[in-house]
A and B are shown apart, each in its own frame.
Chain A
């Protein structure tokens, strides 16, 4: 039997289509427990590759023959080895091309809406890590919001739709992933906007983003309105795009809210978080469609793989928006917080331009889920 490589794109399609898949994950038990490929109808078996060096007899009975089987490891090498052993034993299996590293870097563009006068807004779903970035397109111009470091994906996409990148925004100084904003701005000449309160330590030039700033994309057609919304970080800023969409950054998610502790200031910022979610956000239209910078669980994905919900719906359904008691709210967002994202301090330093890790180091730093939310 021959083994075949399955791409991250193919695995993503299986997730969106809710297909069945049996995943044999041959990474360390701790790595598997920490972070894996999630699918509604996926089954798992985790046996580290180094326990299979002498043969696969021990596990062969646990692997179904009536289902598609995918062997997964960190970088591909071990999954190829195990897949070959299973193939020699008569099974028909695939391995994940590029391993979890490729999985972490895979971006899927999904159109989430039409804007005024032919404009469009796209969501780039980083399915493996749960990060969401956005491209607002209008009249041959495009703006990026919360871009990842996989800059080529955006360049290729912009070229395909014939748009020129003119503005790049980060809603805040990210702690879970390395921003592509600076690099994109350097390569395209686009303006890089950062909330000034998050950018006090950055080592490069940027355009300070303030509450009330308006940026026009494509000849006065689409308006991006900045709305100061601190709480996840002191500078966190949301954007209202075309009076239709609310890009909420890491402040408000579909089934959770942002955590205030990743810059080390949980106690200080809990009040800001409360004010943003319970006062500022209630002053805008409930008809706005919320587009967050993350998702945590597959339940948060719509059928087309996109992540969005009407603000009014979140006001009634999102637990974090329904805690009347301030003390209870304070406790929820400052106590029993989930573990912090992998290497979050180094990631913040990188996004400030203070350190310049190479691509391999950047990949290592970003391993794992985003962990920016509290539920």
Chain B
């Protein structure tokens, strides 16, 4: 069940506190902003500490999956996506999308966050196409469809919406702000 894609894997099995966090901090330094790290640990206290450390360091704690004795923690390196200016003209806010979802289940929602972010929590009917894979997976999409693009804060989805428009998609809406403030129904692996 645990084959979520990550950009890096850290083996911290058998290590006692504080080493899992010390090693995670180092491993994070080697990743690019926005990339996902999977940390394998056996220290039971590591879950609470990962979460608290990520919050204090500005990283995103995505969740933990227990596989036998091993706890697999997923973290996403901080990025400055909150601050960037959005350029795609057609936007829809969370509440309006939620309303549309309520009346029409068959709309297309693309979640362009990393696979691990999607795995832990996403809108029921959303499909996962991480921003980095979008270019190669355009053939999965229909140019005439109305497409809603969502990410965590509206920034990656803005880039994705621009890209889709450039490729000839005519009806693309960026969902703002996105999943970090989404209050509607979601599904995902229980954290």
Contact = CB atoms under 8 A, between A and B. Distances in A.
A77 B18 contact: yes
A23 B16 CA distance: 22
B127 interface: no
Contact of A77 (B17, B44, B52): B17
A28 B52 contact: yes
Contacts of A73: 17-18
Contacts of B19: 77
B17 A78 contact: yes
Interface string A1-43: 0000000000000000000000000001111000000000000
Given A77-B16, A77-B19, A81-B18, A50 B48 contact: no
B71 to A, nearest CB: 13
B16 to A, nearest CB: 5
Contact of B18 (A29, A78, A360): A78
A30 B48 contact: yes
Interface residues of B, number: 15
Given A28-B48, A31-B48, A75-B45, A48 B17 contact: no
Contacts of A29: 52
B44 A50 contact: no
A360 B42 CA distance: 12
A51 interface: yes
B22 interface: yes
A51 B56 contact: yes
Given A75-B17, A77-B16, A53 B22 contact: yes
B182 interface: no
A74 B48 CA distance: 12
A299 interface: no
Interface in A32-68: 48-51, 53
A287 interface: no
A326 interface: no
Contacts of A78: 17-18
Nearest to B15: A77
Contacts of B48: 28, 30-31
Contacts of A364: 44
A28 B49 contact: yes
Nearest to B21: A50
Given A49-B18, A53-B25, A74 B56 contact: no
A364 B47 CA distance: 13
A30 B52 CA distance: 9
B16 A50 contact: no
A50 B56 contact: yes
A53 B21 contact: yes
Contacts of A360: 44
Interface in B55-95: 56-57
B52 to A, nearest CB: 5
Interface string B3-35: 000000000000011110110010000000000
B45 A48 contact: no
B111 to A, nearest CB: 30
A79 B52 CA distance: 17
A30 B48 CA distance: 9
Contacts of B57: 50
Q: Which of A48, A50, A360, A364 has the most CB of B within 10 A?
A: A50
A77 B48 CA distance: 16
Nearest to B22: A53
Contact of A48 (B22, B44, B52): B52
Nearest to A99: B17
Q: Which of A29, A30, A78, A81 has the most CB of B within 10 A?
A: A78
Contacts of A53: 18, 21-22, 25
Nearest to B44: A364
Nearest to A52: B18
Contacts of B56: 48, 50-51
B120 interface: no
A81 B22 CA distance: 11
B53 interface: yes
Given A53-B25, A364-B44, A75 B16 contact: yes
B45 A50 contact: no
Interface string A71-113: 0011101100100000000000000000000000000000000
A142 to B, nearest CB: 36
16 contacts: A30-B52, A31-B48, A48-B53, A48-B56, A49-B18, A50-B18, A50-B25, A50-B49, A50-B53, A51-B53, A51-B56, A53-B18, A53-B25, A74-B17, A78-B17, A360-B44
Given A49-B17, A75-B16, A78-B17, 6 more contacts: A49-B18, A49-B21, A50-B21, A50-B57, A51-B53, A75-B17
Give the 4 A-B CB pairs with smallest separation, nearest first: A50-B53, A78-B18, A50-B21, A77-B17
